[in-house]
Structure 1
Amino acid sequence: MTRAWVLHPDLKSDRERRDPGPALEEAVALAAALPNLHVVGSEIVRLPKAQPGTLFGSGKIEELKDRFSENEVELVLIDGPVTPVQQRNLEKEWGVKLLDRTGLILEIFSDRAATREGVLQVEMAALSYQRTRLVRAWTHLERQRGGLGFVGGPGETQIEADRRAIDEQLVRLRRQLDKVVKTRELHRKARAKVPYPIVALVGYTNAGKSTLFNRLTGAEVMAKDMLFATLDPTMRAVKLPTGPDVILSDTVGFISDLPTELVAAFRATLEEVLAADVIVHVRDISHAETALQAADVEEILASLGVDDSTPRLEVWNKTDRLDPEARAAAEARAERDPGILAVSALTGQGVQAFLEALTEALDTGLQDDTLRLGFDEGRKRAWLFERGLVLSEVQGEDGYTLQLRWGRKEREDFARL
């Protein structure tokens, strides 16, 4: 087991937004999500300002060095961005390996990714991250390789060669990922022919999405009290109490300050959210910073381009962890606001009410309709057939008479054609 120490740099500029206490707890939980890592200590380091070369001041560096030595620390995790120069200098001063928040999240994602697409996306994100670290972080990067003599100049530096190698690998991975994404698109088109609405579960990491997913579907999705227990999207058909089937999608958990490399890499993973008929935002209502977590989720949804017109439900999960007074207050709020459901995915309390609200939000009640189309409306006719909405068709003198079975969303989409 690698002995690790977690540091949360509490910069003066960050204090207005986040309380350093819960932020440190989250960083420790991130570290605990990695196997073979034993967190032996953690602390908040208050910083008036970040030092360009070392992040911390010289006195604090010496103080931490002694602490790491006493506790035989092998890895230091810094909950925040660390520049390549800062990383090199701190590793040299402390004699330990160092990971910043981005590096740690990439390690977790690399450990958890299970599907081909997930693995490729993590590899691409990791390479993009490594490319930014090539700023003479190691002495061998200062070497130069001699040219062949055909072109003047000092030749290619090792850093340039390393960067070129990474760029070539990124191109190869992108080609592979394009193939996987095309396969996903084919699957999505196949699902589109089944007139089942898609319900996407989104939320901050460890909010309880997978526990709720498992309760509703009976699936065995990894659901643990840890950050990023779910990485790859999982989909199952679920029959709602009122009868109609829906496709339920469990997505990767969001987190504040998600590395930009991963936001880009996991956009495809979150495409199901863009296609969703209803978005269910699952919140850990027992968390001290549940409101800030909710704001982070909304920010990421907005950056993905999720339309505000998509119906939303907010599930206040983990009510079983609240004290009786707080639980009563949450349930009272949920009674007043039809868009909020107070539940415990663990005990099942409130899940039935959630399913009823979901049915109402979907307004899926599939209905049978008769539609007449002229011969000049071939595009509309093809659209209906592509989605498997046509039960039967009769050709007449002036066009087609179609018997359809479709839901609200299909009717709205058709009206826009």
Structure 2
Amino acid sequence: MKESFINAKSSRPIHVLSHDGTALQADPAYSGSWAGDGFEREQRSSLRRVPGLSTELTDVTEVEYRQLRLERVVLVGVVTDGNMQAGEESLRELAALAHTAGSTVCDGVLQRRTYPDPATYLGSGKARELAQIVHAHSADTVIVDSELAPSQRRALEDVIDVKVIDRTALILDIFAQHARSREGKAQVELAQLEYLLPRLRGWGESMSRQAGGRVAGGAGIGSRGPGETKIELDRRRIRQRMAKLRREIAQMKNSRQTRRQGRQKNAVPSVVILGYTNAGKSSLMNVVTGAGVLVENALFATLDPTVRRAYTRSGREYTLTDTVGFVRNLPTQLIEAFRSTLEEAADADVLLHVVDAAHDDPLGQIDAVHHVLADIDGVHEISEIIALSKADIADPVNIALLRTRYPEAVVVSVADGRGIEELRDRIESLLPHPTISVDLLVPYDRGDLVHRLHEDAEILMQSYESGGTHMRARVTHELWGVLHQAGLVEAGRGYGEVSGE
């Protein structure tokens, strides 16, 4: 299903969000304000209208289906490096985020500046011009494609007279909508409070809790002195709530570590799926494991880490973990709050990096993921598999270019099954192998040990003899200890011999 809008300068409907492909991809066909004389007008104006951003509904049945009036927003961005194409792509991504949050994007503008204005972000003149655009669309909110300082937000609100939020607040709102688990909700609330604390705003004397002079209710002499304003009271309560949330998250962390240590004790290898939001991570996980994880064509549809069991062709068990999607300029509050997802990545044996090959800027998405991972200790030492997903709808030229940049990448498609078996083989080849070689004879009355060897070891040879099952295998240190207690692997004695580390 495609949604369209009527451009302010053209009556031609422009398709924006393609639900058949990716939620971030726009239809390149456009013949509106950038064609002919309109292009010259845009060149003369530093506040540039960006086509292909609106998500305003024109189908009455869709409006009735939603049964509510969606918040109308105008998007604003500032390009400081002169790369207008990258600025437009970032603004299109902001439009997809706003659509995911449940709003109607009416328009989007970009301004080229050396640096954002420290007062109003755009400058006073362009802020007034933005106010006219907001009034023309009867918009309720302006979303800025950057993180605003509290003073910038207040100054811009005073000029345009509608609510102003920034990219960070928008992403936090989406996370708050999608959080399901107790831990996820606590982490989102903590991130929101960290963002809100320096942005509290007082609203006049009615909010004050300080004692005054004679005019303050007749209190007079003896009532003056240190008091507490309403905003100070709010800040104190927010700090108390943040401290409580941190304690709760720390307690939840212990349970996560217990589960993770259980998997490590049993020597179960771990593969963690990473990638840009809406790149197809959950769909790929479902194909590999049959997990039945939620799959939705929306940003941040998956927030809480999901762990499922999978098996290699040889029958070896490993875990596959689906994680939250990444995005450009991920708020630092979320990087800290969602440490649980990043901890899974740090403890992984293999990283499966899923890339949307059908997106307009897959290289930018890869760089955004690597930028976030660079802040996690030890991740650069973990083997990485790049899987180019959605190959069935991607341009073959773009896939060829990506393969040139990343020759080891695996091209996959969940829709037609392309490359899935190759991906399984690549995962199996990179999983850590047991380091201890054993040659042992397992008595027939110890079938439990034979089963354990098949579950947790690499079987090199197996034959049946009169005294039991003769096996050669590579085992972990933990499994070697079990065999040692059974008296099967004492070097030079009993049934087996051991070599290795």
1:269 aligned counterpart, secondary structure:
helix
Alpha-carbon distance between aligned partners in 2 of 1:297 and 1:403, rounded to the nearest angstrom: 51
Q: Do residues 393 (structure 1) and 481 (structure 2) align?
A: no
Alpha-carbon distance between aligned partners in 2 of 1:89 and 1:142, rounded to the nearest angstrom: 21
Cα deviation code 1:172-218 (max 9, x no counterpart): 11111112111111111222232220000111112211111111122
CA pair 63-318 structure 1, distance change in 2 beyond 3 A = same
Letter in 2 for 1:369: V
Q: Do residues 211 (structure 1) and 283 (structure 2) align?
A: yes
Alpha-carbon distance between aligned partners in 1 of 2:190 and 2:266, rounded to the nearest angstrom: 33
Give 5+ residue unaligned stretches, structure 1: 372-382, 405-410
Q: Do residues 3 (structure 1) and 71 (structure 2) align?
A: yes
Cα deviation code 1:317-374 (max 9, x no counterpart): 222222344445556777xx3x311112333211111111111111547976379xxx
Which one of 95, 107, 118 corresponds to residue 28 of structure 1?
A: 95
Alpha-carbon distance between aligned partners in 1 of 2:283 and 2:495, rounded to the nearest angstrom: 40
**How many residue pairs are counted as aligned between the two chains?**
388
Alpha-carbon distance between aligned partners in 1 of 2:107 and 2:493, rounded to the nearest angstrom: 72
- Structure of larger gyration radius: 2
Letter in 1 for 2:327: I
Letter in 2 for 1:252: V
Alpha-carbon distance between aligned partners in 2 of 1:403 and 1:109, rounded to the nearest angstrom: 57
Structure 2 partner of 1:190: 262
1:320 aligned counterpart, secondary structure:
coil
How much has 1:99 moved relative to structure 2?
A: 1.4
Paired residues of 1:127 and 1:166 also in contact (CA < 8 A): yes
Paired residues of 1:6 and 1:27 also in contact (CA < 8 A): no
Alpha-carbon distance between aligned partners in 1 of 2:319 and 2:495, rounded to the nearest angstrom: 24
Alpha-carbon distance between aligned partners in 1 of 2:389 and 2:132, rounded to the nearest angstrom: 43
Q: Do residues 359 (structure 1) and 428 (structure 2) align?
A: yes
How much has 1:53 moved relative to structure 2?
A: 2.1
Paired residues of 2:294 and 2:302 also in contact (CA < 8 A): yes
Structure 1 partner of 2:227: 155
Letter in 1 for 2:253: V
Which one of 158, 161, 166 corresponds to residue 92 of structure 1?
A: 158
How much has 1:310 moved relative to structure 2?
A: 1.5
Letter in 2 for 1:44: L
CA pair 215-367 structure 1, distance change in 2 beyond 3 A = farther
Paired residues of 1:330 and 1:342 also in contact (CA < 8 A): no
Listed as ranges, the matches of 1:223-302 within 5 Å are 223-302=295-374
Cα deviation code 1:351-410 (max 9, x no counterpart): 111111111111547976379xxxxxxxxxxx955x8962451579x9998999xxxxxx
Alpha-carbon distance between aligned partners in 2 of 1:140 and 1:268, rounded to the nearest angstrom: 43
Which one of 70, 83, 86 corresponds to residue 136 of structure 2?
A: 70
CA pair 150-126 structure 1, distance change in 2 beyond 3 A = farther
Paired residues of 1:144 and 1:158 also in contact (CA < 8 A): yes
Alpha-carbon distance between aligned partners in 1 of 2:197 and 2:129, rounded to the nearest angstrom: 32
Q: Do residues 146 (structure 1) and 211 (structure 2) align?
A: yes
CA RMSD after TM alignment? 3.4
Letter in 1 for 2:130: L
Cα deviation code 1:140-160 (max 9, x no counterpart): 697352399999854233332
More helix, by proportion: 1
Give 5+ residue unaligned stretches, structure 2: 1-68, 213-218, 441-475
Structure 2 partner of 1:376: none
2:375 aligned counterpart, secondary structure:
helix
TM-score (norm: length of structure 1): 0.83
Listed as ranges, the matches of 1:367-406 within 5 Å are 369=438, 384-385=477-478, 390-394=482-486
Structure 1 partner of 2:392: 320
Q: Which stretch shows the higher mean deviation, 256-265 or 64-73?
A: 64-73
Which one of 375, 378, 398 corresponds to residue 306 of structure 1?
A: 378
Alpha-carbon distance between aligned partners in 2 of 1:360 and 1:40, rounded to the nearest angstrom: 50
Q: Greater relative contact order: 1 or 2 (C-alpha under 8 angstroms, separation 6 or more)? A: 1
